[in-house]
Structure 1
Amino acid sequence: MKFGQITGILVIALFFCLVYPVAAANATRTDNATDFYNKGVTLLSSGDYGQAITFFDQALASNTSSIKVTGGLLYTYQGKSFAQIQMGMYNDSLLTLDQGLALYPNDSMLWNNKGYALFLLGKNQDALTAYDQAISLDRNDTNALINRGNVLSKMGRFQEAVDSFTAANQTDPGNSAAMAGLVKAQPAAAGSMHTTMIVVIVVLVVAAAGVIWYVKYHRPVEQKQPEKKEKGKKKNK
């Protein structure tokens, strides 16, 4: 299983831990938005992502006052974007996430999901920026730290990836995705450092040789001073 898939599972597991208590607590006073929202959550949990998106859209098209109060509106954007990512609808997911972030700019999960969608689109630098934003909002966001490590590895920035995976393992000791990331990134980081040292040494040797060559063959030639004629002396005939 790939790192991204593992992280996706972790994200959705966290999603349901947060969503179901909210939905259940308000089951006695449903309205259209709440009803659509609850159906969307149920379908999402069963892996029926297409239908989940349909019901989340219906919830958003309804009067969202009640689900906004309960926190369901935020989870609707989280759940819809996750379902779109699972279906390969990455650009659509980014639109959903931007709509959600317009209302909830400080939600680390929305930023994490945005980073994941960008990563899957191959936009690594933009993905890294989104993960950094998620972590700045929640330094204990294990999923964002793991995803950040994955994108840094993809970019060849292995030591930074090691640091990110290590931080993820500290927030969730023994996390399998964080440990798997470390297993791959640490040897690459060591190899990269070794290569860098070799390059530095070669550059220094070449530079030293250049200085020696210049000093030996390109020193300015000393000009001889013209001899001064001594006054008062006559030339012999």
Structure 2
Amino acid sequence: MEFSPEDNNNLPLTKFESMLKTNHVLFFDSEEFENIIHHYLNQGKIALAKKAIKLGLDQHPTSINLRLFKVEVYVFENKLIEADTLLNQLYSLDPSNEEIFIQKANILSKKDEHQQAINVLKKALELTDDVADLYSLIGMEYLFLDQFEEAKTAFMKCLEEDIEDYSALYNIIYCFEYLDQSNEAISYLNIFLDKNPYSEVAWHQLGKQYYNLKNYKKSLAAFDFAIISDDTFVGAYLERGKVLEKLSRFEEAIENYSITLKLDDPTSFALLRIGHCYEKLKKDDLAVQYFYKTVHEDPLLDKGWIAITKFYNRKKNYKKALYYINKAINIDTENVIYWKLYSQINHRLNYYEEAERGYKKTLELGNYELSTWLSRGDLLIKLGEPEAAIYNFEQAVEFYPENAELEFRLAGLYLSLNEIDKGTFHLKNGLDYNKEYSFIIDELFPKVSNKKLVKNLLKANL
């Protein structure tokens, strides 16, 4: 039993906490102690739970349930040897107590002995009629073993026993998705819904399956039924909005996202999607207004800042785009996408040093896309830093060997520095890998392209 401030069931708890303050020992029956301990464990108040267990066992030293709570705390504190020892004692006293088997399985699971834990839980099934939780525990152990078919079966048995165990339903769908069994998931959900037609969670999951298969018409119908089953189901409105976007029904999508703002606290996801919908409807003022609301609601959401920046980018208002991407970087200096946008915008504004710094930071953060290496290197060439450009492109070659774009750039750089042997080596490599990129020499190194050596090599290979 969980204590609630709205009823009188919390009287033993109040009495217990009063006793702790006064240090005056009062008597509680064992069931009251169990409820008190259960409450503290659920609240994560382990120290108070331990006090209640100690006082409980002082007054009821033979209580197996109180000692099982002691086992639970041992397991929580990773004192597995002490837990196992106490469990063995309890088993000799009450070998048909399923909770003993559950705690034993918990210890085995903590030791990563998941198959043994399953075997113990299966024994517990024989000792109780209340099997739903046990099937759920068995399912979780199978998940630890990556045995998704077996896990799925266990969760299905759990759901058969308790049709309102939505965590079991979610786990079943998770297994289907991991096994790439979308059609089987749809069949299962339809059978489940035949028996439970007002299960909003099942309709919601069915809608998501159809959405993944791009069957938007059926997906929309499923979310409609989820909302009919529970017209305050925020998740269904959000998903319905996503489907309507796919169908280019942007006004209706906005309506659904807007409903979620009234039902619950505004979410940055809904605000962002409304902004994108208005953008598709060419209502730019409203679009950017919702992008502002998105970052105000959640300044850490990178998608919000990216949306504002790209919005102004598309409008070719690069100064404003730069202003917002700078704000974003001030909040999160380690975001690769921010730095890429920062570089691209500065590049468009002809702020070459800032753009190069951005590309360098992007690479430092682990974004090794070829376009990043090329953009940074070309900027270093433009900035008159050939040695730094060479170092940049040579690093890139480690990630992209036999790449003509890199080889022609290295050829041009070395030849412009009169390092003829190295330049010739890279020029020949470029021609071997893909001679169509030889125009790079003309574009980036016009003086080099006029050299007799280069003209002869190009003529011989083109």
Fold in common (TM above 0.5): yes
Give the aligned partner of residue 31 of structure 1. 125
Contact 1:108 1:137 in 2 (8 A): yes
Does residue 173 of the first structure (1) align with residue 269 of the second (2)?
no
Deviation at 1:132, TM superposition (A): 0.6
Higher relative contact order (CA 8 A, sep 6+): 1
Give the alignment's TM-score, normalised by structure 2. Answer: 0.31
Q: Structure 2: how far apart are the matches of 1:170 and 1:63?
A: 33
Q: Structure 2: how far apart are the matches of 1:106 and 1:63?
A: 15
Contact 1:36 1:56 in 2 (8 A): no
Amino acid at match of 1:54: E
1:42-74 deviation per Cα after TM superposition (whole angstroms, max 9, x unaligned): 666x7x7x535522313546894xx337x34x5
Q: Structure 2: how far apart are the matches of 1:136 and 1:63?
A: 23
SS in 2 for 1:174: coil
Contact 1:40 1:53 in 2 (8 A): no
Q: Which of these residues, 170, 183, 206, is aligned with residue 114 of structure 1?
A: 206
SS in 1 for 2:266: coil
Gapped runs of 5+ residues in structure 2?
A: 1-41, 43-97, 103-123, 284-462
Contact 1:40 1:51 in 2 (8 A): no
Q: How does 1:9-48 map to 2 (within 5 A)?
A: 28=99, 31=125, 33-34=131-132, 35-41=134-140
Amino acid at match of 2:154: Q
SS in 2 for 1:109: helix
Does residue 58 of the first structure (1) align with residue 154 of the second (2)?
yes
Give the aligned partner of residue 68 of structure 1. 162
Deviation at 1:87, TM superposition (A): 4.7
Does residue 124 of the first structure (1) align with residue 228 of the second (2)?
no
- Per the alignment, do residues 40 and 61 of structure 1 end up closer, same or farther by CA in structure 2, a change over 3 Å counting? closer
Give the alignment's TM-score, normalised by structure 1. Answer: 0.57
Q: Structure 1: how far apart are the matches of 2:211 and 2:259?
A: 20
Contact 1:36 1:55 in 2 (8 A): no
Q: Structure 2: how far apart are the matches of 1:159 and 1:107?
A: 28
Contact 1:56 1:76 in 2 (8 A): no
Does residue 94 of the first structure (1) align with residue 193 of the second (2)?
no
Give the aligned partner of residue 202 of structure 1. none
Gapped runs of 5+ residues in structure 1?
A: 1-20, 22-26, 192-237
Give the aligned partner of residue 196 of structure 2. 104
Q: Structure 2: how far apart are the matches of 1:41 and 1:63?
A: 14
Q: Structure 2: how far apart are the matches of 1:134 and 1:158?
A: 21
Indicate the RMSD between aligned Cα atoms, in angstroms.
3.0
Contact 2:155 2:169 in 1 (8 A): no
- Per the alignment, do residues 52 and 87 of structure 1 end up closer, same or farther by CA in structure 2, a change over 3 Å counting? closer
Contact 1:82 1:113 in 2 (8 A): no
Give the aligned partner of residue 182 of structure 1. 274
Between the two proteins, what is the percent identity of the paired residues? 18
Give the aligned partner of residue 201 of structure 1. none
Q: Structure 2: how far apart are the matches of 1:183 and 1:86?
A: 33
